[in-house]
Structure 1
Amino acid sequence: MRKADGHSTLHLWSLSEEVGIEDDSSGDGLVLTGPDGVDRVPDVSPLVREALRRMQLGPVLLANAAPERGSGCAPDGPLPAVGDDPVLSRVLASITHLVVRTLAIDDLGGPLLSAFPLSHPAPFAPVRPPPRRAVRMVSGVSLTQESGGIAMWSAAASHRVLLHRPEAALVASLLGWPVTPEAAAEALPVLGVVPSGVIGYLTAAGMARPVLGPPPAARPPALG
């Protein structure tokens, strides 16, 4: 298996471009207006308010979404880590149909792919593929070229995926046949963290799924 080369994946969150945010009539909550209607988030904390504000501007690492000291929105005392904040987690779980999930790596090359919600709700839980477990693209997935990359879509999937970078497209191309993340990492000229990250996101979006039985004996042909 190709080593991770010192790089790691970044899991970014944003709101769909069509989503607007404003205070509710009480001033304590928020109203989110999207293409399918209105969602109300009552009694938001400064952390939730700041996280959603930043998500409206574009993909954000939630660990960096805590309000800054002196900004007028940070409470006294230590702020909780965003990933450990149950209120923020609960709010995000209630608006999955408005949330875009983006995978990137820390190489300053831009995002690898983004998953856009198509259903209500649209749960999305990327997981690390089990070691040596083969994965394959599900039947019925369509691929089309767009200005921002290659789009993947399926009538049965909860998300539409846009592959922003060639590395993500290379991983997706191998999923026409059963392949393990380890074999994909060996075959492709990409950083070692890319195959497992892309496969995890495509699986969460409903574009790929694990294959039952032992992993394939033959490796996919090397590319590049």
Structure 2
Amino acid sequence: MNAAAPSLMPLWSLREDCGFRSVPGDPGAGVVSTPWEEIRLDARNPAVGRALERMTYGPVSLDNVLPGFSEGTGPAEERPQYDALDAVLGRLQHVVVRTLALAGGTDHVTVVPIARRARFTPRRPDAHAVHRLSRFVTLTAGPEGWIAESPLTAHRVVLHTPQAGWLVSCYARPTAVGEVSRLLGLPVAETSLVVGYLEAAGMLVPGTPRADAPDTYSFAEDEDTVLASWSPRELLVHQRSRPGAHDEPVGEYGDPVRPGGPARPRDNDGIAVAPAGRAPVSAAAPAIPLPVPLPAGAGAGRREPALSEVLAARRSERPDDGRPLSLDQLGELLHRSAAERPAGGRPYPSLGARYPLELYLTVSGGGDLKRGIYHYDPHGHRLSPLETAPDLVDELLAEAAGNAGLSQEPSVLISMTARYRRTAGAYRGTAYSALLKEVGALQQTLYLVATAMGLGPCALAFGDTETAARAFGLDWRAEPGVGEFVVSAFPGGV
């Protein structure tokens, strides 16, 4: 790249949710407001105030404020101003956006800090330096181009131009800067500048030559034993479901999670409407009312165990010769675990009391209920039989048996689906994470009730999303499967 006439121009700006103002009565002080805090600065140096003010309007070349600032080539007599501005920008690294623009003024690559820990110190690797795209990077389409993100970094990168996207695509495998330059027909210096930005942002990881294998490279993230336990998808879900490591809104809509965050009315949009496409209820078989158990300690019958006893006895049970549950047993299990209580709410907790979980029971037959699939109504405490093809019933039960380690079908498979809009329509960023926690809470409640009743309960690690969606007649995007649980009666009873 020709330093006198660069084809890429470094630009600087503050995040859009930041501002700069002077302090009344103190002409030597300035304040930068950020999503996390207000930072008081020494702005007595004129260059500092001019630079920060211009950076609030959008990307600007600081060479227009201090000639030669980008390359550090300014005159010696201006050194105090350079040092002052450099020190201020160092304090503001977590809110300073760095852009590389083409000579015509078009943005090429932008690096945006998204967390307080963000630090950005790009270097210029030489032509022989080898990099690879981090295996944790995801690329999504955005309004200004491709957006590259990683749960391991405190930045996101916007690839504004097709050429920027082509450069990133070259790094799907380990590649040298000089090779990328040759493939794209770009000067090595220009390629190096972009690669340095992507490396500093955590999107590209540098390779180290392996002594034991010529022309091969090792990468630090592949050798990290902590990262070996994480898949890219799971780590991304974890990082984006909790605040602190990113700048996406998290929390209830309407709450001041961060300045400039979108507000949305807190309503019940879509909650009262049944998800489109649910398998039709059988016209030949009306809804089946379930028995309501007597209150604990009322009437004659089995002794109610203490909670401490139930907790001590709880474990996954897989009776391979389990018996079907009677209607009384099924009614008690569902009523004590999942039925709507007279005062509202259910026996298990739910974020914002939204209760997005729906229960579908796949019954093997042989007892009070015919073989088939039933939807549970927690408000009316009843089961509605669905018109589901027999082969789908077979598939669900066979898969559940395999997942539970059974040699025959379980008596009852309880499938949990989530009406996602119930939670996502009210909470930002945390909806899916909250759903999984709610599944765990419901499964533990089922475990404790089943244990107290002397039944054999077992939560399953996973289920087939496609089969369940077809069996229940659902659009999995609106109501995905999120949990499975099997239960049987022990052969000899209790």
Is 1:115 the equivalent of 2:111? yes
Shift of 1:28: 1.9
| Cα separation, 1, equivalents of 2:138 and 2:97 | 20
Shift of 1:126: 1.3
What stretches of structure 2 of length at least 5 have no aligned partner?
68-75, 217-494
Q: What residue is the counterpart of 1:221 in the other structure?
A: none
- Helix, strand or coil at the partner of 1:59: coil
Is 1:91 the equivalent of 2:78? no
> Where do residues 96-107 of structure 1 align in structure 2 (5 Å cutoff)?
96-106=93-103
- Helix, strand or coil at the partner of 1:92: helix
Q: What residue is the counterpart of 2:346 in the other structure?
A: none
What stretches of structure 1 of length at least 5 have no aligned partner?
68-77, 218-224
Judge which range, 150-159 or 38-47, deviates more. 38-47
Q: What residue is the counterpart of 1:154 in the other structure?
A: 150
Whose relative contact order is higher, 1 or 2, with alpha carbons under 8 Å and at least 6 apart?
A: 1
- Helix, strand or coil at the partner of 2:172: coil
Runs of 4+ in structure 1 displaced over 6 angstroms?
Answer: none
Structure 2 counterpart of 1:64, one-letter code:
N
Output one character per residue of 1:45-99: Cα deviation in whole Å (capped at 9) or x when no partner: 11100011111111111111149xxxxxxxxxx97269x6111111000011110
Q: 1:80 aligns with which of 75, 78, 81?
A: 78
Structure 1 counterpart of 2:137, one-letter code:
V
Is 1:24 the equivalent of 2:14? no
Q: TM-score, normalised by structure 2?
A: 0.38
Q: What residue is the counterpart of 1:65 in the other structure?
A: 65
Shift of 1:147: 0.9
| Cα separation, 2, equivalents of 1:85 and 1:40 | 19
Q: Whose helix fraction is larger, Structure 1's or Structure 2's?
A: 2
Structure with bigger gyration radius: 2
Residues 144 and 122 of structure 1, relative CA distance in 2, 3 Å threshold: same
Q: What residue is the counterpart of 2:12 in the other structure?
A: 13
Q: TM-score, normalised by structure 1?
A: 0.81
- Name the count of aligned residue pairs: 202
Query: Does the 8 A contact of 1:24 with 1:31 survive in 2?
Result: yes
Q: Kindly, what percent of the aligned residue pairs are identical?
A: 33
Structure 2 counterpart of 1:114, one-letter code:
T
> Where do residues 188-199 of structure 1 align in structure 2 (5 Å cutoff)?
188-190=184-186, 192-199=188-195
Query: Does the 8 A contact of 1:178 with 1:216 survive in 2?
Result: no
Judge which range, 30-39 or 58-67, deviates more. 58-67
| Cα separation, 1, equivalents of 2:85 and 2:185 | 38
Shift of 1:197: 2.0
Structure 2 counterpart of 1:90, one-letter code:
A
The root-mean-square deviation of aligned C-alpha atoms, in Å, is 2.5
Q: What residue is the counterpart of 2:165 in the other structure?
A: 169
Structure 1 counterpart of 2:162, one-letter code:
P
| Cα separation, 2, equivalents of 1:166 and 1:110 | 12
- Helix, strand or coil at the partner of 2:12: strand
Structure 1 counterpart of 2:90, one-letter code:
A
Residues 93 and 121 of structure 1, relative CA distance in 2, 3 Å threshold: farther
Shift of 1:39: 1.1
Q: 2:127 aligns with which of 128, 131, 134?
A: 131
Is 1:205 the equivalent of 2:204? no
| Cα separation, 2, equivalents of 1:144 and 1:189 | 26
Query: Does the 8 A contact of 1:151 with 1:162 survive in 2?
Result: yes
Query: Does the 8 A contact of 2:127 with 2:188 survive in 1?
Result: no
- Helix, strand or coil at the partner of 2:33: strand
Q: What residue is the counterpart of 1:186 in the other structure?
A: 182
| Cα separation, 1, equivalents of 2:88 and 2:195 | 26
Shift of 1:9: 2.6
